[in-house]
Amino acid sequence: MSDAQERFLAWERAWKQRVCDQVTPFSHGDVFKSQRYPDYWSFNCIQLARPMAAQEMIDAADRELADCRHRFAEWMVPMPDEVGAELAGRGWIVTPLVYMLHDGRELDEGDEELAEVDYGAVRHLREAWHREDFDDGVITEAFYTQAREVAERADVRVIAALRDERPIGFAQVQTHDDGSEVAEVYVHPEHRGGGFGGALTTRGIAVGAAAASDVWICAARDKRPRELYKRLGFNVVLETAVAMLPPGSGALAG
């Protein structure tokens, strides 16, 4: 395992342990639970340190997350494509991911109109993003409330791209344990293709680098943002994945 991989895993685990009040080992990793944030999926999950077959993972999630309205599994190792395909065929939302570390290069931030804004100023963009990814009713008000509280525990900063003084895209930067993450980058569909995603990511890198020695970003393994992040100086450190059944899914046990 490389030094960068070890740093990422230690950084990620320290944050999980800070937010979650229950951390319990199981056969293939750990179960993380948070009584304070029960609707925030990634803080109520099974986290795999070694691979599991699809049915094994489903059984483990049903057993360990029986009191949750969702199922969520994080793979801290690559998820085999055949496992992902089987899970997707059984109703799970499966996303292979890569975590990337910035190489420290200085970047030209360009001349797009960007401004730091309050977390709540981009709520309409968060809702638009979730409508692209989930059915209506999956993202509850409790989820938004809990996500904000968790982000504020990590010294969150939000940068927005503006048009007529209204945010049309944003980047969210969170810092904890001597590491920063450009945790979210989103541009409204009506404004994509204009360079806003790159500008927001670039500003996010600068904000994160001013606060911590490492700047991380997560990208879907097989989608275009990964290539943008590579051009901006991010290099892949670790391949991971997430698999989830959101609340209300017909595939949920029971």
The CATH code of the domain that includes 191 is: 3.40.630.30
At position 106, the amino acid (one-letter code) is E
Per-residue pLDDT, 118: 97
54 shares a domain with 131: no
What band does 137 get if pLDDT is binned at 50, 70 and 90?
confident
Residue 80 lies in a domain: yes
211 shares a domain with 180: yes
33 shares a domain with 128: no
Per-residue pLDDT, 254: 47
**How far apart, in whole angstroms, are the C-alpha atoms of residue 18 and residue 24?**
14
121 shares a domain with 75: no
150 shares a domain with 59: no
75 shares a domain with 7: yes
- Copy the structure tokens of residue 223: 């989608």
84 shares a domain with 126: no
Q: Which region among 56-60, 94-98, 117-121, 224-228 has the lowest average model confidence (pLDDT)?
A: 224-228
225 shares a domain with 148: yes
Residue 105 lies in a domain: no
SS3 55: helix
Residue 108 lies in a domain: no
* pLDDT tops 90 at residue 64: yes
Residue 104 lies in a domain: no
As a dihedral over the C-alpha atoms of residue 127, residue 201, residue 176, residue 237, rounded to 10 degrees, the angle is 110
Structural domain for 225, as ranges: 114-236
81 shares a domain with 133: no
For the chain, the domain total comes to: 2
Residue 127 lies in a domain: yes
Residue 74 lies in a domain: yes
* pLDDT tops 90 at residue 110: no
Residue 107 lies in a domain: no
125 shares a domain with 86: no
**How far apart, in whole angstroms, are the C-alpha atoms of residue 88 and residue 60?**
17
Per-residue pLDDT, 224: 86
Please, which residues bridge with residue 75 across strands?
48, 241
Rounded to a whole number of angstroms, the CA Rg of the chain reads 18
Q: Residue 152 in contact with residue 19, Cβ under 8 Å? A: no
Residue 251 lies in a domain: no
Q: Report, as an integer, the average pLDDT of 174-202.
A: 95
120 shares a domain with 88: no
93 shares a domain with 59: yes
